[in-house]
Amino acid sequence: MPLPIVTFVRMDSSTSFYSFTLPLLTGGELPFRSLRGRKVLLVNVASECGFTPQYRQLQELHEHARDHLAIIGLPCNDFGSQEPGTPEEIRTFCDQRYQITFPLTAKVRITSDPIHPLYQWLTSMDQNGVRNYPVTWNFTKFLISGEGQWLDAFGPAVSPFADEILDQINANLPS
């Protein structure tokens, strides 16, 4: 029997990006406050999606930009039931097929109740202060500044190497 989807999040007293702490796929927690000072690219991932080969590009981007960019994969089964695996199956798939070394969280819910609080923040201008951006499929990407501000969102078909993403990742870097 598969493990249940983790739907909790521990929040500090505010609702800033750095207030979130998510459980990792392999155990332990990822406090977002530990990401302060680096831009963050959050991607809802799935193992059985047509966009799954983007894992390779995400890993390459992680390897080349890890000093100033954190990539976080958030497995989700809400779109076409394309991430049905257990945490162990997801980790094995990512290890064997793509040699993923960036953090993967426990499964999150994005469109099915209860919607994960992080995705409530990411998709709602009322919470992120910038823009509404509904997630319509796997591999939607959200870019957060090194100060925890919502910068932009990109649809599933946008490559992690698209100029519109790389330009923002590389903006304001020290020379």
Catalytic amino acids? Answer: 49
Closest CA to 86 of 2, 170, 172, 173: 2
